[in-house]
Structure 1
Amino acid sequence: MEMVGGGPWEPGEWTDDTDMAIAIAEVAATGADLRDPSAQDSIVARWHEWSLRAKDVGIQTRQVLTTAARGGEASAARARASSEALHRRTGRTAGNGSLMRTAPVALAYLDDEDAMAVAARAVSELTHFDPDAADATVLWCCAIRHAVHTTELDVRIGLHNIPVDRRPLWIERIEQAEASRPADFPNNGWVVAAFQAAWSAITTTASRAGTARAEHLRLGLDAAVRCGNDTDTVAAIAGGLLGAAYGASAVPLEWRRLLHGWPDMTARDLVALANTVARKGRPNRGPVYSGLRIGTLAAHPHDPNVLLGGVGVLRDLPPEVDAVVSLCRVADHDVPQGMPHIEVRLIDSTDPDENPHLDFVLTEAVRTVEQLREEGRTVLVHCVEAYSRTPTVAALYGARLRNIDVADALQDVLTALPHANPNPVFRNALRRLRNVNLLSEGTPRHG
């Protein structure tokens, strides 16, 4: 699957699904309780502000927001009244618009399932008053919360939060999704079909991921976008749950490089916003480098157009560098401007829980460097001190570039970086990757 754009959207630009979720996340990131009317007022006001210039807004959502803003500032009370009136008048307010944006609600209540269920239903009803829409958001939020805590994918985990008389129907719908393909739910503008298509995309691709669990995120999203009709929404729904289970490190770096959208945000901004929501608005302590050898800089022994360094090099980039791959956290004031900057979540730790997709992440990092070099760029690959993460990625890159053994490539890198010493878990990963497809799919053309 490639991000090619379409219509008014650029490659990698997210659509209204993510736009509306961001508005919820922005409010949750202040530490506000989304059950409070004042927090819901802020959400509705932000949605209305966004809708005035949005490239696309759902018909029902626009109708509710327009009505809510008549005669004054849009408010939650007016939005909910408009949503309810529309439902009473038509009986058709079960679109997928509230499910597609619900993931931030789950992040805001990772420690309180009961509060989360109330908030999910309340935020859904601001634009979609049908009980099916609210039920779907509650079930999906419960599944997201469970996935964050356990990495398990279980959409039944929240059934106890659904009214007793509606539970059998939802069980039937879930079972139908698991026995079908995503394309079997073509009416996916309806929240139930969108729910089923997303869950089908997830469950029918799980076994194909094999031992590389991170691949399930890509496979599930690929299945979602191929289901037809409202594919971006089905993918947004599926992505919220898959991302909760596998984390940001499972997102292909090629996608993260392109991701951007309203309101002038990038993948880095989305990660920061999600973290702030999960922390309930509490500030995150930035990286501290005092006493560390952060100014290390050396040329890659097998490619002079790849530089290996510490994070301090970002503060005085060599003039030839026009792309950066960061293998550690980077403070906002150190983020390079005017060039591709790809951040890789790779923790220098021997705890396997810190890097649940280590082989996948290392492979992605190397392929990213290769892609940047194919574009003719001079690439800085760095971590904090070029001590453990950088030499590990550099060794894999060199082995593939020169078609040599990884152990020999690592020794060459350690000669260039004499103070470096990859941790034992990273060294084991190098040995695992020695004979896998990363090193056998062909030698890059540059170099």
Structure 2
Amino acid sequence: MKKSGHLDRAAGVMVGLACGDALGAAYEFGGPYPADMAVKMNGGGAFGWEPGEWTDDTSMAIPLLELIASGERPRGYNLRSAVKGWIDWMQDAKDVGNQTSAVLGEARLASGGDFYELDTAAMVAAREFQVQFPDAAGNGSLMRTAPYGLAGQDLEYVAITAAGQSELTHPHADAVTACAIWSAAIKHAVDTGELDIRVGLQAGVSETNEPDRFVLWETRIKEAEKSAPEHFTQNGWVVQALQGAWSSIVHSGDRADNDPRHVRRALEMAVRGGGDTDTVAAIAGGLIGAAYGVSAIPQEWKRRIHGWPGWRADELVEHAITATQEWTEYGRSSENSWPATDYCDYSDWRGTETCVPHPHDRGVYLGGIGALDNLPGDVDAVVSLCRVGRKQVPGAIAREDRVSAWLVDSDDPDDNQYVDFVLYEAADMVARMRQEGKTVLLHCVQAHSRTPAVGALYAARHLGVPIDDALRDVTAILPMADPNPAFVAAIRRIANEGEER
């Protein structure tokens, strides 16, 4: 049974993976780092990453995500497209793991460029590598396995297919089992919002019918729950990579508290553990993003992430949501609807053309979605509080200056689990863009509820306007403004908490 917020959590899988990856990129091969060290997405590191640029962890996950989102079952010959994607990526990649590079390089040569031989050639090359290096059990398949949490109808299917993709490059039993366990746990988190690695353990090991393996992995999981991430210094090994990721999740918060800040704490803790920081944080990000959803991931991280093949957060969200659609015997049906559409149709809505300067900051415009069709000439950044299509924001606005908040205009708590978090993140993003010298359009569909709520909160948090005055002034200039009661209560809570601090 899928709980409310399923699409939010599906999107959180890939965005969480990429954020952890990009966050840890600058710290790879160092540490462990002090517990009070600030962890920032500044780029740099051994391979000169750009700020927010993801590494091989996310890049290798993308061909698997595309395969799953295509509606093809990710088994057998259907994995050829993923192998081809990896080989294409590898040609210009800044960093490729040693085992991955050796296996895929040999597969490319052995296949002679024949697409239909790629998966077989990869598996043969992987097995030969394993014979030559029997103890090789790197984390290169676990780092990319998160998309499998978006596939299939049951945990056992996910576990089996995730194990299969590992065998293309990392056939060691530790790598195969780790992928099965972690992917099944992600699937469970997407469906239920729960963080339960033992559900993944049950699904990931039950098919092997090997009681000793179950006991072994239970022991490893208990060790992760007992020890901090910095204990797992050999996290290039797939077992310690999984342990470090799970340790960072369980030692940074309790899912029962439903605190969206747990996501940030977990990924920062994973990075501070040191070693293969981008990979451990990416692995952790796929699972904790699945449990909390993309709405719980810091807006500034989502704004920055980007990488091969020229994607940003929007493409990750689109493909993740497409991938998690229901499977049928004949594959999935495809609808030309959000997020896989160029334009979301709001033609039946009235008042969407509203666009007025903020009463307390003329560098911010407040409006409806129709304002995107006739942007004021000085606008160079957009914060969207409703669903928009791929081409709805004008191309003149740089990709990194288009931000979307996952916010439903509803006072039902099931529709916005972290309403306070999303509202203040949106208001703070407006402030951050203004500090960068940008002129911002803040909009929803009709400037009815979301826009006035965030616009008032921005004035209260960053311009020193009392929240009730800000709310009164903003609603007075928007002809349809009437924020829903849940939003009004939330922005008052946030503003009052700020005063107390």
Scaled to the shorter chain, the TM-score interval is over 0.9
Q: Which residue of 1 is the match for residue 374 of structure 2?
A: 316
Equivalent pair of 2:155/2:188 in contact (CA under 8 Å): no
Does residue 370 in structure 1 map to residue 404 in structure 2? no
Inter-partner Cα distance in structure 2 for 1:86 and 1:274: 32
Q: Which residue of 1 is the match for residue 33 of structure 2?
A: none
Does residue 143 in structure 1 map to residue 181 in structure 2? no
Q: How does 1:151-190 map to 2 (within 5 A)?
A: 151-161=193-203, 162=205, 163-190=210-237
SS of equivalent residue, structure 1 residue 12: coil
Q: 2:316 aligns with which of 270, 274, 282?
A: 270
Equivalent pair of 2:296/2:418 in contact (CA under 8 Å): yes
Q: How does 1:282-321 map to 2 (within 5 A)?
A: 282-286=334-338, 287-292=344-349, 293-321=351-379
SS of equivalent residue, structure 1 residue 97: coil
Q: 1:400-425 CA distances to partner (integer Å, 9 max, x unpaired)? A: 23423312211111111132111121
Q: 1:38 aligns with which of 67, 71, 77?
A: 77
Q: 1:311-341 CA distances to partner (integer Å, 9 max, x unpaired)? A: 1111121101111111111112212333311
Q: Which residue of 1 is the match for residue 274 of structure 2?
A: 228
Deviating beyond 4 angstroms after TM superposition, the runs of 4 or more aligned structure 1 residues are 209-212
Q: Which residue of 2 is the match for residue 193 of structure 1?
A: 240
Q: 1:422 aligns with which of 472, 483, 487?
A: 483
Q: Which residue of 1 is the match for residue 447 of structure 2?
A: 386
Equivalent pair of 1:12/1:258 in contact (CA under 8 Å): yes
Equivalent pair of 1:276/1:283 in contact (CA under 8 Å): no
Q: 1:144-189 CA distances to partner (integer Å, 9 max, x unpaired)? A: 1111122111111122231322011101000000010101001000
Equivalent pair of 1:93/1:129 in contact (CA under 8 Å): no
2:393 counterpart letter in structure 1: V
Is there any run of 5+ residues in structure 2 with no aligned partner, and where? 1-38, 339-343
Inter-partner Cα distance in structure 2 for 1:325 and 1:158: 37
Inter-partner Cα distance in structure 2 for 1:300 and 1:336: 21
TM-score by length of 1: 0.94
Inter-partner Cα distance in structure 1 for 2:462 and 2:227: 43
Q: 1:343: Cα distance to partner?
A: 0.8
Is there any run of 5+ residues in structure 1 with no aligned partner, and where? 442-447
Q: 1:284: Cα distance to partner?
A: 4.9
Equivalent pair of 2:366/2:442 in contact (CA under 8 Å): yes
Equivalent pair of 2:63/2:86 in contact (CA under 8 Å): yes
Inter-partner Cα distance in structure 2 for 1:227 and 1:147: 24
Inter-partner Cα distance in structure 1 for 2:483 and 2:40: 33
Aligned residues: 437
Q: Which residue of 2 is the match for residue 445 of structure 1?
A: none
Equivalent pair of 2:385/2:451 in contact (CA under 8 Å): yes
Equivalent pair of 1:212/1:360 in contact (CA under 8 Å): no
Q: Which residue of 2 is the match for residue 254 of structure 1?
A: 300
TM-score by length of 2: 0.85
Inter-partner Cα distance in structure 1 for 2:459 and 2:104: 55
Does residue 53 in structure 1 map to residue 111 in structure 2? no
Inter-partner Cα distance in structure 1 for 2:488 and 2:379: 28
Q: Which residue of 1 is the match for residue 5 of structure 2?
A: none
Q: 1:81-135 CA distances to partner (integer Å, 9 max, x unpaired)? A: 11112212321231001100001011122x2222211101100111001011011
Q: Which residue of 2 is the match for residue 444 of structure 1?
A: none
Q: 1:336 aligns with which of 375, 380, 394?
A: 394
Q: Which residue of 1 is the match for residue 67 of structure 2?
A: 27
Q: Which residue of 1 is the match for residue 28 of structure 2?
A: none
Q: Which moved more, 1:156-165 or 1:183-192?
A: 156-165
Percent identity, aligned pairs only, is: 49
Q: Please, what is the CA RMSD of the aligned residues? A: 1.6
Does residue 10 in structure 1 map to residue 53 in structure 2? no
Does residue 95 in structure 1 map to residue 156 in structure 2? no
Q: Which residue of 2 is the match for residue 351 of structure 1?
A: 412
Q: Which moved more, 1:331-340 or 1:56-65?
A: 331-340
Does residue 118 in structure 1 map to residue 188 in structure 2? no
Inter-partner Cα distance in structure 2 for 1:164 and 1:80: 27
Q: 1:431: Cα distance to partner?
A: 2.7
SS of equivalent residue, structure 1 residue 228: coil
- Structure 1 pair 51–401 and aligned structure 2 pair: CA distance change class (3 A): closer
Q: Which residue of 1 is the match for residue 149 of structure 2?
A: 106
Equivalent pair of 2:453/2:491 in contact (CA under 8 Å): yes
2:248 counterpart letter in structure 1: A
1:313 counterpart letter in structure 2: A
- More RCO (CA 8 Å, sep 6+): 2
SS of equivalent residue, structure 2 residue 365: strand
Inter-partner Cα distance in structure 2 for 1:224 and 1:180: 13
